[in-house]
Amino acid sequence: MGRWASYFLGHPWRIVVHSGQTLALAHYFFNHLYSFGWGYGPSMLPTFMVDGDVIIFNKHHRRGRDVRVGDCVSYQIPVAPGEDGVKRVVGMPGDYVLMNSPGATSDRMLQVPKGHCYIVGDNMPWSRDSRDFGPVPLALIKGKAIAKGQMAGWNPWKWFEPIQNGITEESS
């Protein structure tokens, strides 16, 4: 009998205690530090592939904490309770944003209200976003996308690549 087998068989409650500790640690890790999910659909092309990139989310950014314009965030879709989405932030509280797609017949602007952000998909014609349901409360932000990848191939170091902020400031 191996060392670990005799350790657990000698004291059956150790299995229960260690299992409980492991579950508590996993719960804390996935609810408060990092989580992962799958991106699918055409709304975020070319940032995420249609067939389902694996995305790692940093939960430090829950409720909009330290989120900036250009970040990709996971959020609870306000018009579909229980469903989550991933979109890019294009406006934070106080910012003025174009309410429609660029080149649309109307060039109406909106000031993002306090406690909200304005999110849009990178592939605007195929995205259901703030242009449809308005600014999203920061409380619905679940995390910031920090890496993406596809679990293909044999080299795990190449599975994930960091997600860059997609909006750069223009110098005048």
CATH of 35-162, one of 3.40.50.300, 2.40.30.10, 2.10.109.10, 3.60.21.10: 2.10.109.10
Catalytic residue among 6, 19, 59, 87: 87
Respond yes or no: is residue 43 known to be catalytic. Answer: yes
Q: What tens digit of pLDDT does each residue of 114-130 get?
A: 999 999 999 989 999 99
User: What residue segments make up the domains of the chain, in order of their start?
Assistant: 35-162
What is the CB-side half-sphere exposure of residue 113 using CA atoms within 13 A?
7
Helix axes 3-10, 12-28, angle to 10 degrees: 100
As a whole number, the mean pLDDT across the chain is 84
Which band of pLDDT confidence, cut at 50, 70 and 90, is reported for residue 4? low
Catalytic residue among 43, 74, 127, 130: 43
Average pLDDT over residues 82-97: 94
Q: Which residue has the higher pLDDT, 23 or 40?
A: 23
Which band of pLDDT confidence, cut at 50, 70 and 90, is reported for residue 37? confident
Respond yes or no: is residue 87 known to be catalytic. Answer: yes
73 phi, psi to nearest 5 deg: -125, 155
- The alpha helices in 1-122, defined as continuous H runs, are 3-10, 12-28
Query: Residue written as tokens 């000698």?
Result: 10
pLDDT at residue 33 above 70? yes
Q: What tens digit of pLDDT does each residue of 155-167 get?
A: 666 678 888 786 7
